[in-house]
C-alpha cells in the first residue's frame, strides 16, 4: 500500500469519495466555477449538485457487500449497525468503524450517532472498557466531504449549524465517557479521526498508521478539542505545525510526541492489542473508572469549553461564503489532479 509523501496528498484517502462523485459532473462543476467564480455558492454548484445526489442515492440503494464485515461478525454477541460493528465480549465492548454511508471510515452525522449509541450502551452495561478500532486498512479519514458539501450548498447557515452540533455531541460523548477507551489505530487517522485520540485513554498504533490534521488546507479550523489537547501533549510548536501546516506524523513520530502510547508491528498488531485488552479486563471495574476519573476530571471542563469554542468557529466558517469558497477551491484542485 502506498502512502502519501507530502501533506497535501492526503486527498488520496480523505477526498476519494468526493472526487468520485464530482467526476459525475466535473465539467459542469468547472464551467460553473469559471463562469461565476466560487463566492456565489448556490450558483456555482447547482450544475453538479443534482448529479452528486443521484450518485449518492444510487449507491445507498445498492445492496451492501457484507464480506468486509464477515470476519468480525462471527459470534451471536455481535450487534448490527449500518456504519459500525459492535461486539460485546467478555469484559469489554469492541466498536469498529465499518462505514457503509461514507468512504474510508469517514464521519458524517449518521456514523457519529451510531458511535455515540454504542458508547452509551457500553457505559450502561457491564463492560469494563471500550476498544475502538476500524475494519480495513484505514482507521478514519475525518469528516465525510460528500455528505458535507452536498448539504452546505443547499442551506449553508442551517446545515453548518447542524454539522457543528453533530460534532459537538460526538466529541462530548468521548469527553464524558467514564470507562477507559482504548484505541487501536490500524491505518491513517486524519482530521477528526486523529483529533479525538487524546480524548481516549490508551492509543495503540500499527507501524503503518499515520496521523494528519490538515485543517487549513481545506478551509477548516481545528476540531475534536485539538486546539487544546495537541499543544498540551506535544508542545505548541509541534501542535501548530500539525494544525496549521498539516504535517503528517508516522506512527513512531506520533508515539514520540505523546499522541500514541505504543506502536506494534503490522503482522502481530491485532494479537498484541488483544493480549493487552485481556490483561486490562482482569482489573476491577471500579478501580479502572476511578483511576480514569483522577486523570481526566481535572481536564473535563476545559475540554468541554474547547469543544464548544471550536464548534462555534466551525459554524461561523462553514456558514460564510468565504469559508465555502475555500473548500470549493480545494475540491477543484483535487479534481484537477485526478
Sheet containing 129-134: give its strands across.
Answer: 78-80, 84-89, 92-97, 129-134, 181-185, 202-206, 262-264
| C-alpha grid cell, residue 226 | 485539538
Separation in Å, CA 79 to CA 85, 154, 335: 7, 35, 38
**Exactly one of 143, 288, 314, 328 is catalytic; which is it?**
143
Instruction: Compute how many other C-beta atoms are within 10 angstroms of the C-beta atom of residue 42.
Output: 14
User: What does the block give as the cell for 264?
Assistant: 506494534
Instruction: Give, as one character, the DSSP assignment of residue 42.
Output: H
Q: Is 223 a catalytic residue?
A: yes
Cα 231 to Cα 34, 154, 194, 209, 226: the distances in Å are: 40, 36, 14, 21, 8
Check if 143 is active-site. Answer: yes
Angle at 228 between CA 128 and CA 148, to 5 degrees: 85
To the query of whether residue 328 is one of the catalytic residues in this protein, the response is no
Closest CA to 128 of 333, 311, 287, 301: 287
- Strand arrangement, sheet containing 189-190: 189-190, 210-212, 249-250
Q: Which of 96, 192, 228, 288 is catalytic?
A: 192
Q: Given 223, 228, 288, 328, which residue is catalytic?
A: 223
The CA distance from 41 to 320, in Å, is: 10
Active site residues: 143, 192, 223
Amino acid at each position: 500500500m502506498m502512502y502519501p509523501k507530502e501533506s497535501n496528498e492526503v486527498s488520496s484517502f480523505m477526498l476519494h469519495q468526493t472526487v468520485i462523485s464530482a467526476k459525475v459532473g466535473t465539467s459542469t462543476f468547472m464551467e460553473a466555477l469559471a463562469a461565476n467564480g466560487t463566492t456565489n455558492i448556490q450558483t456555482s454548484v447547482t450544475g453538479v449538485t443534482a448529479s452528486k445526489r443521484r450518485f449518492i442515492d444510487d449507491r445507498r440503494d445498492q445492496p451492501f457487500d457484507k464480506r468486509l464485515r464477515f470476519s468480525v461478525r462471527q459470534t451471536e454477541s455481535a450487534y448490527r449497525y449500518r456504519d459500525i460493528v459492535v461486539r460485546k465480549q467478555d469484559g469489554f465492548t469492541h466498536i469498529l468503524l465499518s462505514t457503509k454511508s461514507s468512504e474510508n471510515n469517514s464521519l458524517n452525522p449518521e456514523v457519529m450517532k451510531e458511535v455515540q449509541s454504542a458508547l452509551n450502551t457500553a457505559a450502561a452495561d457491564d463492560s469494563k472498557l471500550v476498544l475502538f478500532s476500524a475494519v480495513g486498512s484505514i482507521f478514519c479519514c475525518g469528516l465525510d466531504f460528500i455528505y458535507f458539501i452536498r448539504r452546505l450548498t443547499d442551506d449553508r447557515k442551517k446545515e453548518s449549524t447542524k454539522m457543528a452540533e453533530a460534532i459537538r455531541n460526538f466529541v462530548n460523548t468521548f469527553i464524558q465517557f467514564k470507562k477507559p477507551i482504548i484505541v487501536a489505530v490500524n491505518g491513517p487517522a486524519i482530521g477528526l479521526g486523529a483529533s479525538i485520540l487524546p480524548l481516549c485513554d490508551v492509543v495503540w498504533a500499527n507501524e503503518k498508521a499515520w496521523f494528519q490534521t490538515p485543517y487549513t488546507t481545506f478551509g477548516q479550523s481545528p476540531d475534536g478539542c485539538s486546539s487544546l489537547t495537541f499543544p498540551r501533549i506535544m508542545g505548541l510548536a509541534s501542535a501548530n505545525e500539525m494544525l496549521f501546516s498539516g504535517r503528517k506524523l508516522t506512527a513512531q513520530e506520533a508515539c514520540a510526541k505523546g499522541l500514541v502510547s505504543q506502536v506494534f508491528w503490522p503482522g502481530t498488531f491485532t494479537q498484541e492489542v488483544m493480549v493487552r485488552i485481556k490483561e486490562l479486563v482482569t482489573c476491577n471495574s471500579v478501580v479502572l473508572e476511578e483511576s480514569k476519573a483522577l486523570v481526566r476530571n481535572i481536564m473535563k471542563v476545559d475540554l468541554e469549553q474547547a469543544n464548544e469554542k471550536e464548534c462555534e468557529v466551525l459554524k461561523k466558517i462553514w456558514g460564510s461564503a468565504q469559508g465555502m469558497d475555500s473548500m470549493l477551491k480545494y475540491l477543484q484542485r483535487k479534481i484537477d489532479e485526478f
